[in-house]
Structure formats: C-alpha cells, structure tokens
Amino acid sequence: MLDPAPAARPATGLAVRCTRALLSPWSRFSLLVAVLLGAAATMLLLDPQQLLATGWPARLSGGALAVILFGVAYGVCTVAFVPRPLLNLAAGALFGTQAGLTAALAGTVLGAGISFGLGRVLGQDALRTLLRGRWLKAADGQLSRHGFRSMLALRLFPGVPFAAANYCAAVSRMGYPPFLAATGIGSIPNTAAYVVAGSKASAPTSPAFLVAMGFIVLTGLGAAVVAWRKRHRLTAG
C-alpha cells in the first residue's frame, strides 16, 4: 500500500526536532535568563519601591485588601530583584508594624516560591550539569540532604542575597515545602527589624526605632565579618 502522505514525514520530523530544541535544558535556561532580565529592566524603569512607598493609592491605604495587594506586589518585585530592605521599610511606613510585617513576610514567601518554581522548571536541568567544583557540589549536597536546616541558616544570615538563595535551592534537589517553611521562619528577624524601622521612621529617637536600627547594623557587620573570613580562607587555601 502506498503511503498516502509521503511529504508529511519530513515535516513531522522537523517539528519533533524543533520541539525538542525548544524544550531542551539550555533553551529553557535561556528563557529563564530572558524573563529575569526583562523583569529587572521593567523594575528599573518603573522604580516600584518609590511607587509602593509614596504613590500607594489613598483608597488602599489601609485594610486587609491593601495588605494583600501589597504582599502580592512585594512578591513580584522581589522576583525582579527589587531590594527587600526597601520593600520592608515601605511596608512598615504604609501599614505599621503588625500589618506591615504580615504583608512583608507574605510577599517574601510568595516571591521566593515564584523564583524557586522558575528556577526548578527552567533552570535546574541545565545548571546541574555545571556542578563540577568541590564547593558547588558541597553546597548542592547540603541543600539536597538538609534542605530545611540549610535554608533556614541562609535566611537568618543577612549576607546571602535573597535571589541567590532562591535559585541555588531550585537547582538542588531540595523540596518545595521545606524551602517555603524555612524561608518564612528564617526571614522573620531581619524583616521585622526593617518593618519596625519603617513604621517608626517619623520618630528616629524612639526606643523601637533605635533597637531596630541597632539590630540591622549589628547583623550587617556580622555578615560582613563572616564573608571576609570566608573569603580569606578561600584565598589562603
């Protein structure tokens, strides 16, 4: 029997090859890079931290809806690399300590979850092939075997960039639930300090503001010292 559509086979084969190329690990990783660069460029143009701090609609200046919307905006901004300290200060200035902390923590977990999902779906297969160095393998093994404990330590340590921790966890074999739980719990101290500082910024001599700023300064200095010691050891080694 003659093939009813002999010309269809080459076309089908080409479609299969194109589909495989588009779904290959490095194609997905390229898409991830493009998405993140586009998001970062958009955030630079829109300057959302200023919008959140000074241009928040007056009709949404309070209430549960405003807290929810701010939390969602916060999460999206962190995916686009907007610095969390600025967003935390804005949360405190807009909503006060309790509601501001709720919005900031919810946005932190949301943003971390989105980044983790993007990294896991679009970047893990490609980036895992690059885990050849001793330090990279050690970090991957630590996150894969002791996910919650390791991520909790990274969140408590203010010297580790938020986005870097998200994508390192996504490349590892760490699970989603321990990642989100460790992010929520470990982000409380530093986030609370910035939110309190933002809520009390109008009274810079108040005890709450001074304590919050003291905590921020001390943890920042501690992070710098630890980073310098790690760098010194690596250089010496």
- Domain coordinates of the chain in residue numbers? 25-236
- The per-residue pLDDT for range 53-74, each reduced to its tens digit, is 565 666 566 688 889 999 999 9
Task: Please tell me the predicted confidence (pLDDT) of residue 234.
Answer: 45
Task: Please tell me the predicted confidence (pLDDT) of residue 92.
Answer: 92
48 or 213, which is more confident: 213
How many other C-beta atoms lie within 10 A of the C-beta of residue 152? 19
Across residues 104-117, what is the average pLDDT? Answer: 95
- The per-residue pLDDT for range 114-165, each reduced to its tens digit, is 999 988 887 666 666 655 555 556 666 777 788 898 899 889 887 788 988 8
124 or 93, which is more confident: 93
Task: Please tell me the predicted confidence (pLDDT) of residue 123.
Answer: 67
What mean pLDDT value characterizes the chain?
A: 79
Query: What is the C-alpha to C-alpha distance for residues 10 and 13, in angstroms, rounded to an integer?
Result: 5
Best mean pLDDT range from 8-17, 48-57, 62-71, 72-81: 72-81
The 3-state DSSP class for residue 10 equals helix
Query: What is the C-alpha to C-alpha distance for residues 46 and 116, in angstroms, rounded to an integer?
Result: 24
Task: Please tell me the predicted confidence (pLDDT) of residue 99.
Answer: 94
Dmax over CA atoms of the chain, in Å, equals: 92
